[in-house]
Structure 1
Amino acid sequence: MDLDWIWKSILIIIAGTLLLRIAGRKSISQMTLAQTVIMIAIGSLLIQPVAGQNIWQTIAVGFILVLTLIGIEILQVKYNFFEDFISGKSKVVIEDGEILEDNIATMRLTVDQLEMKLRQQGVNRFKDVKYATLEPNGQIGLELKDDAKPVTMKDFREQMDQLKVILHSHLTTDDLNKKRDKNNIFKEVMEDGHEQEPPQYLD
């Protein structure tokens, strides 16, 4: 009786675990298109040795796929245009409580699907949303309007600090809000650019 399939199965599990460990820890919902394609390819590839294919050649091909994925991710970190090409860009789907119908039509997203994604984020009214973006991995990113945000201790302290500054200077509340909004990551999507350059160690 041929028992090769036993040690092949064990080796496949070990090699597959190692390959996925090298590839990263993202869940399926967090993967980019390139990551999803390569993970599916690895899954299909690893079952071949059990069917009689060369196991070492299969593992070698798996490592090549993972190295290719790592190379793609490095290029995405270094070059914005490559990231845009491979992963796509975030799109604004709600602005000031209004659905941007042209954008959701372009991305083939229905209003019902958008509502589902908002409910999963704990949002039940469009008008409470200042900005909502559909990310390249299909997840929704959102910023609530100020009057819809839950108050945290940090918010309370910031308001107290702002009040002290206003009382002791000529700054207005609008000036302080503009200063705070400079680092708003949703502004990058709206203005199609980065406010700050990436750190030098990523170049």
Structure 2
Amino acid sequence: MSFFGVIKDISLFGYIIRTFIVGITAFLVGRYILKRTLNQLTAYDFVLVWILGALTVAPLLDGEISFTYIMAPLITLFFWHYIISLISLKNRDLSLFFNGKPIILIDDGKIIRKNLKKHFINVDLLMSELRLKNIFDVSEVKYVILEPNGHFSTIKKENLRSVTPTDLKLTAKPVDLPLVIINDGKLFEENLIKSGANKEWIMNNLAMYNEDDMKNIYLATIDSSKKLYVSKKD
């Protein structure tokens, strides 16, 4: 239990034990923090994650810092983050205060320079973000919006948008996720049943790939139309 307390002269073995404990603590921090924090990192979430990370590794960097001393601030920050997130769901003004609000950078093809300067975004960065969305000409853009999490949302002008089945008054075929039926040589019988196929059907189709043993298959998937995808092991 001395590994949890204050250690003035920590040994190499003590560092190893503390590193192991820090690893578990860091995993728990990442496991139980709100998923929104990890996927949509706003300024408020970034500060929280940064503080939690610093607290978690503090006992590893300084042997005189006890693990017991960091539990109170860790629990407090978790509680504070949960409460603020819950209140933000109910109160839009508070949500905008903590998370920020979307900023329009291009409005109907016109670059809003004051918003670029306000957020220290130069033209080169703006153009690189457009190129990532396969847009190479600003004149094609209707809106560019800087989201609270730092991502850029882009909308093309109406005459340059991709045609959809709705535009042509057509009914699109439903899209279903393919089912994994073989993973690293192991047959997933539950997914095989869901697909409406059977083992004999799978083996017959594997023969088309000059394969007669599932153990040699790295990945095999099947879609709703019973189209089979097969990737062999090297």
- Is the TM value for this pair above 0.5? yes
- Structure 2: which 5+ runs fail to align? 1-9, 172-234
Q: Deviations over 1:107-152 (max 9, x none)?
A: 3221111111111222211111111111112111121112211223
- Structure 1: which 5+ runs fail to align? 160-203
CA distance in 1: counterparts of 2:75 and 2:163, whole angstroms = 49
Quick check: 1:46 aligned with 2:56?
A: yes
How far residue 26 of structure 1 moved from its aligned partner, in angstroms, is 5.0
Assess, with a 3 A threshold, how the Cα gap between structure 1 residues 26 and 74 changes in structure 2: closer, same or farther: closer
Letter paired with 2:40: Q
Quick check: 1:133 aligned with 2:145?
A: yes
8 Å CA contact retained: 1:34, 1:69: no
CA distance in 2: counterparts of 1:5 and 1:60, whole angstroms = 22
Higher relative contact order (CA 8 A, sep 6+): 1
Q: Of residues 12, 19, 29 in structure 1, which corresponds to 2:29?
A: 19
8 Å CA contact retained: 1:93, 1:134: yes
Greater helix fraction, Structure 1 or Structure 2: 1
8 Å CA contact retained: 2:42, 2:150: no
Q: Kindly report which structure 2 residues correspond to 1:157-172, keeping only aligned pairs within 5 A, or say none.
A: 157=169
CA distance in 2: counterparts of 1:122 and 1:134, whole angstroms = 17
Q: Deviations over 1:17-37 (max 9, x none)?
A: 111222133576831111111
How far residue 60 of structure 1 moved from its aligned partner, in angstroms, is 3.5
Q: Of residues 65, 90, 98 in structure 1, which corresponds to 2:110?
A: 98
Q: Of residues 118, 130, 151 in structure 2, which corresponds to 1:118?
A: 130
> Aligned pairs, how many?
159
CA distance in 2: counterparts of 1:71 and 1:120, whole angstroms = 36
SS at match of 1:61: helix
8 Å CA contact retained: 2:37, 2:45: no
Q: Kindly report which structure 2 residues correspond to 1:137-148, keeping only aligned pairs within 5 A, or say none.
A: 137-148=149-160
TM superposition score normalised by structure 1: 0.69
Match of 1:10 in 2: 20
Letter paired with 1:37: V
CA distance in 1: counterparts of 2:54 and 2:98, whole angstroms = 22
Match of 2:120 in 1: 108
Q: Deviations over 1:30-64 (max 9, x none)?
A: 31111111111111111221221111222332232
How far residue 153 of structure 1 moved from its aligned partner, in angstroms, is 3.0
How far residue 154 of structure 1 moved from its aligned partner, in angstroms, is 4.0
SS at match of 1:109: coil
Match of 2:92 in 1: 80
CA distance in 1: counterparts of 2:165 and 2:23, whole angstroms = 48
Q: Deviations over 1:48-90 (max 9, x none)?
A: 2122111122233223222222222112211111111112111
Assess, with a 3 A threshold, how the Cα gap between structure 1 residues 105 and 48 changes in structure 2: closer, same or farther: closer
Larger radius of gyration: 2
Greater strand fraction, Structure 1 or Structure 2: 2
TM superposition score normalised by structure 2: 0.61
